[in-house]
Amino acid sequence: MIEQAAIDAHGLSAEEYRRLVEILGREPTLTELGIFSVMWSEHCSYKSSRRHLRRFPTDGPRVLQGPGENAGAVDVGDGLAAVFKIESHNHPSFIEPYQGAATGVGGIIRDIFTMGARPIALLDSLRFGALEDELGRPTPETVRLVDGVVAGIAGYGNSIGIPTVGGEVAFEPGYAGNPLVNVFCLGVAKAERLAKGVASGAGNPVYYVGARTGRDGIHGATMASAEFDDSSADNRPAVQVGDPFMEKLLLEACLEVMETDALVGIQDMGAAGLTCSTCEMAARGGTGIDVDVSRVPQRETGMTPYEIMLSESQERMLLVVRRGREAEVERVFDKWDLHAVRIGEVTGDGLLRVRDRGRVVAEIPNRELADAAPLYDRPTRYPAYLDEAQQLDLSALSVPPDLTRTWLDLLAAPAIASKRWIYRQYDHMVRTNTVALPGLGAAVVRIKGTGRALAMSVDGNGRHAWLDPREGGRLAVAEAARNVACAGAEPIGATNCLNFGNPERPDIMWQFVEAVDGIAEGCRALGIPITGGNVSLYNETDGQAIDPTPVLGVVGLLEDAGRVLTRLFPAAGLDVVLLGDAVPDPAGAGGLGGSEYLKRVHGLVRGRPAAVDFDRERALQRLVVDAARRGMVCSAHDCAEGGLAVALAECCIESGGIGARVDLPGPTASNDGFDVVRALFGESPSRIIVSVTPARGDELLARARSAGVPAAAIGRTGGDRLTVSVAGDVVADLALKTAEHAWATGLTRHLDPAAVEGSASWESAL
């Protein structure tokens, strides 16, 4: 007889408990209760989000594997597939930054090689609390978290030998009690050999391989489905410890096994460990599975079946092998000094049967356990804060006296400044495929043996999503795809990580639904299928929810790896062409709503972010990709945080001392005096700065015209200064060296002051 207390402790509602009793036709054993609780947790069952995720476009001519497997896959030609996915590890990273982030990397890597793909790239989307206080001093708690998370990502990725080639990081007060660590991994597989997490063929043996099972991570999945409070620090036992060396062995051995056809199915033991891998594989195969936990290699003594089934120890895989081919498989694992243990077999009865030394301790209908989790249509409510937050009254603000200072200040903002301190801790070159180094735009890795390359970008803006969740979702899609296009790649697939608060709160659920609709609209409009992703809810601490943060990971294909573009002006004497509106967001508030300028200079997060016109966006991206293919443009850079002025500076910084002088049209006669500020720092989508040789400038402008993309030659590259004038009057002007120093040290001066003081070494580093 199960006590009510036990049911509550497992986070199951009375309705959910009633349902599981109905499925079993009896009261569950404690082990069965544990198994149901993790499988039906938000983390594993997506019970609050699933019905909404169905609105994502998931089909396309290139899609080889959509949502539902360990990762999605798209066709990239030559019989190859790009396999990719993004996943969150937010809660563990807050409790233990290093191990939380490290095991997040380990988990997503397993998802990729489980598909039969060789992982070749990692990216990270990180969110932390404010890095500076009101006085511009570093906030120790944020510094500690950043240091731990970055070290954890580096520690795992560098050891296993998969390059971390890019990502993004943002600092907002809303993440102080709940940082976000979203990890993206991409691999390359033979299209016709994609592996599946399926258990089929009654009688086929089930193997366990990898690290021994310990008590770590028990109820990690349920933890990820609960809010934090002061007692969260006591959750440490629920955080797993990573072993990248073990995973390296698993990665190589599994890929080697997959070269044979002795394997029926394979799945990693991630959230909900052995429970999830066994019942999901059998559910996909329409079979049953019978395992004896006493055969599972154990790290600790006296573990109960309950603990073994729920443990989230890392670096473990479950394999279903063709009967009669066991020796082949065991030989490969022996080569890598891994011990593959047979723990059970596939059955035909559709049951997940768990034994302990032969004695049955759990017997659950698979399909119900995996697929019959209760789905909720959570109530939504328009948030009370929103109307007020969207009001932006500039008349209460004064225009900064010195816009050159403002420009420098923005370049030094942690959100904009160089992320060098972070990405230099990552081995971003291993496997010699990285054809665009980090910090120059989208990450680009070549596919050896083909002339091609893949560009990747992960983007999201919680500030935008907080002010307008739907537009925030649309903007994230547009920006990630635009960044990929700026590298010269055609966007061909997307994955997403949806980070939100407690879905049981109607206003949070409203944010979620709006963001999902926005992402769906954007992907549909740009023709980019979503092949999978991850939802992370309950990102709250003491009732304080994070900014809603939909993060998009977009993958693009470059037909010619030799034509990759970066943000850098490659030479002096080139025309600087702005593709897109010269005056940001002409229809709206001039792109100041939710802008970095407004936050940095006036300490405000208000207004509405500029809306995306997807017809314009699509035309713009196609124009840039086409121009890149023709070798018509020499560089391309998206205008994002900080607007055109910051984007222009970024085209010159690290270019080897090539400055630029541009003249912007305007001002449009508004009466609030902010026109020049808008022209410089206003943020609106669908704007790209490109450089082009004077000889081909007219051709580019003509193509833009016929594509329906506004375009104007706004200046020239060259000199050692950055100068912006509006309608002929110089409004901001600074030495490139000064801009470079502000940008290069903006983040590092908080994270590693010593590195900045030795300014000499900085110059050499620039």
Which sequence positions are flagged as catalytic? 43, 89
- For residue 322, state whether it binds another protein (rule: CB under 8 A): no
Q: Give the Cα separation of 20 and 761 in Å (integer).
A: 64
Whose Cβ is closer to another protein: residue 323's or residue 424's? 424
Is the CB of residue 617 less than 8 Å from the CB of residue 685?
yes
Q: Which stretch binds another protein (CB under 8 A): 10-18, 28-36, 62-70, 334-342?
A: 334-342
* Number of other CB atoms surrounding residue 491 within 10 Å: 24
Q: Give the Cα separation of 120 and 56 in Å (integer).
A: 27
Binder of another protein out of 110, 367, 428, 470 (CB under 8 A): 428
- DSSP string over 97-158: HHHHHHHHHHHHHHHHHTTT-EEEEEEEEEEES-SB-TTS-B-HHHHHHHHHHHHHHHHHHH
Binder of another protein out of 39, 435, 487, 552 (CB under 8 A): 435
- For residue 286, state whether it binds another protein (rule: CB under 8 A): no
| Contact flags string 174-213 toward another protein, x per CB under 8 A | --------------x-x-----------------------
Q: Give the Cα separation of 699 and 705 in Å (integer).
A: 10
Q: Which stretch binds another protein (CB under 8 A): 31-39, 127-135, 222-230, 333-341?
A: 333-341
- For residue 158, state whether it binds another protein (rule: CB under 8 A): yes
Q: Which residues pair with 88 in a beta bridge?
A: 182
Phi then psi dihedrals of residue 311, to 5 deg:
-60, 140
Minimum gap (Å) between residue 133 Cβ and another protein: 25
Structure tokens given for 300 = 């600790």
Q: Which residues pair with 723 in a beta bridge?
A: 661, 733
Whose Cβ is closer to another protein: residue 161's or residue 350's? 161
Local structure of 496: helix, strand or coil: strand
Binder of another protein out of 220, 244, 493, 553 (CB under 8 A): 244
Binder of another protein out of 121, 154, 454, 497 (CB under 8 A): 154
Binder of another protein out of 144, 335, 357, 359 (CB under 8 A): 335
Q: Which residues pair with 490 in a beta bridge?
A: 557
Binding footprint of another protein, residue count (CB under 8 A): 60
Binder of another protein out of 127, 446, 661, 741 (CB under 8 A): 446
Q: Which stretch binds another protein (CB under 8 A): 200-208, 482-490, 519-527, 757-765?
A: 757-765
Whose Cβ is closer to another protein: residue 708's or residue 758's? 758
Alpha-carbon distances of 462 from 287, 403, 589, 594, rounded to whole Å? 43, 26, 19, 10
Q: What are the strands of the beta sheet with 359-365, ordered from one edge?
A: 263-268, 316-321, 205-210, 341-347, 288-292, 351-356, 359-365
- For residue 753, state whether it binds another protein (rule: CB under 8 A): no
Q: Give the Cα separation of 138 and 134 in Å (integer).
A: 10
Is the CB of residue 184 less than 8 Å from the CB of residue 84?
yes
Local structure of 449: helix, strand or coil: coil
Binder of another protein out of 13, 432, 668, 706 (CB under 8 A): 432
- For residue 431, state whether it binds another protein (rule: CB under 8 A): yes
Minimum gap (Å) between residue 146 Cβ and another protein: 12
Whose Cβ is closer to another protein: residue 225's or residue 635's? 635
Best CA proximity match to 647, nearest among 589, 708, 579, 546: 579
Unique residue bearing structure tokens 């797993």: 240
- For residue 448, state whether it binds another protein (rule: CB under 8 A): yes
- For residue 737, state whether it binds another protein (rule: CB under 8 A): no
Binder of another protein out of 8, 22, 59, 78 (CB under 8 A): 78
Q: Give the Cα separation of 166 and 185 in Å (integer).
A: 11
Residues that bind another protein (CB under 8 A): 78-80, 118, 151, 154, 158-161, 188, 190, 243-246, 248-249, 252, 255-257, 259-260, 328, 331-332, 335-337, 423-432, 434-435, 437, 446-451, 561-562, 752, 754-755, 758, 760-761, 763-765
